[in-house]
Structure formats: C-alpha cells, structure tokens
Chain A
Amino acid sequence: MPSSETEVRTTATLPAEVPLHARPAGDFVRAAAQFPADISVAANGRRANAKSILEILALGALGGTELVIAASGDRAAEAAEHLAGLVPQLG
C-alpha cells in the first residue's frame, strides 16, 4: 500500500450540444461509481464529487465545456482514463 497517493489528472471536453445534465449526467455518475477511486470533476471554477449526481448537476457544465477529472486511490489512473474517454461520447 503506497503511503502517499498521487492524483491522476486529465481533461475531457463535452460534445458541443451535450450539457452535463439529465441522462448524460446520470451516465457519467454511473461510470464513476464503478471505480473505487476518489474522483472529482471541475468545471466553471467549481469542483464536484464525480459520484454525486447533485454535485455534478450543480456544476452547470454546458456543451463544449472542458472538464478536469482528478482521481486518487485504488485504480485511479484507470478511472480517469475511462471517464475521459466517456465524456466526449455522452449524449
């Protein structure tokens, strides 16, 4: 067990016409919840727990917004990579 956990950070951009609301937000949270890592998403100067739908909705991320995804803990790199791959495909 590593004594200090490094944060894995990556960015991904929402499709131009898909805000992180309703079904896309639910799809994102379901994907994040599959991973044990702590995952956050930042946009518009706010930061949300990727596994909390209410925090994700409160980001108010419109289509085309760049999201900063940060993960730490177990399988962090895999989680960040998976979510970064998912974001441009939401819809």
Chain B
Amino acid sequence: MGRESRNGFVGLVLVSHSAAIAEGLAELVAQVAGPSVPIAAAGGGPDGTFGTDGGRVLEALREAVGSAGAVVLMDLGSSVLSVRAACGELPEEMLARLRVADAPLVEGAIAAGVTASTGGSLDEVLTAAQEARTVAKL
C-alpha cells in the first residue's frame, strides 16, 4: 500500500466537452478530497464552444503530472481521442507517470480524488477510479 511518505500526491486531469462540467467537477472533487490533490480541468473547445481542445488537454496533463503522477478521466467520444492525441505529444518519462481511467467521469473522479488524498499510489488511484463502474448508487 502506498501510504509511506512521497514527494507529492497523485493528481487528476478532468476532460469534458463542457468547461462548466470539468471546472464544476474539479471544485466538487476538491471539496471531498481536500486541497492536497492537484486537479487540472480541461473542458470545452477553443472559443468557449462545446468540444475538446487538444492544446488545453496537453497543458492540463503537464500541469497535473507531478512526481507522483496523474490519472486522467474523461467523458465521451472525442475527449478520449483528445487525450490519446495529447499523450502522443508527451515525452516517455512523463507518460510513464500518467494513467488513463476507463471510468464514469463524476463518480470516478470523486473516488480517485479521495484515494489520492489518502496518499494512494498511482495504480491505487487508477483502481479506485475504475471501481466506480461497479459501485451501486441505490
């Protein structure tokens, strides 16, 4: 388990077609996970439209991936493509500290954020995000 001291907390990158969704979710996760976890939001297309902005995604990946790494969560369709494209621009040593989660965006981000805030390792945070697929709400 990754509770031993480390240089930093695992970060999150939240990618959505909507800037309001990505930013609002970042605020919600910060509320539950506390201030220690780096969270970068990349929502909406260039010029404030709905969509995704590859440049902004790339910037968010660089921003959130500290020494402990970062887990990327995204909504649908072209968000996934934007994340893949942005990852293609990053050097190997940075890619090695990134994990892309196959998880529902809101639930996955909450689970990942709280796990990161406990000092969880990169793979523990990824697992928490992906477990959100199966945790019952009702």
Contact = CB atoms under 8 A, between A and B. Distances in A.
B132 interface: yes
Contacts of B120: 33
B34 A26 contact: yes
A25 B135 contact: no
A31 to B, nearest CB: 9
A53 B31 contact: no
Given A30-B117, A30-B118, A55-B135, A23 B110 contact: no
A26 B137 contact: no
Nearest to B124: A33
A58 B137 contact: yes
A55 to B, nearest CB: 6
Q: Tell me the dominant secondary structure on chain A's binding face.
A: helix
Interface of A: 22-23, 25-27, 29-30, 33-34, 36, 51-55, 57-58
Contacts of B34: 23, 26-27, 30
Interface centre among A25, A26, A57 (most CB of B within 10 A): A26
A8 B38 CA distance: 36
A51 B115 CA distance: 8
Contact of A23 (B31, B107, B131, B137): B31
Task: Please list the 3 inter-chain residue pairs (A to B) with the smallest Cβ-Cβ separation, ordered nearest first.
Answer: A33-B118, A26-B32, A53-B114
Contact of A34 (B31, B32, B118, B135): B118
25 contacts: A22-B31, A22-B32, A23-B32, A25-B32, A26-B33, A26-B34, A26-B117, A27-B34, A29-B114, A29-B118, A30-B34, A30-B118, A33-B3, A33-B118, A33-B119, A34-B3, A53-B110, A53-B114, A53-B115, A54-B107, A54-B111, A54-B131, A55-B135, A57-B110, A58-B135
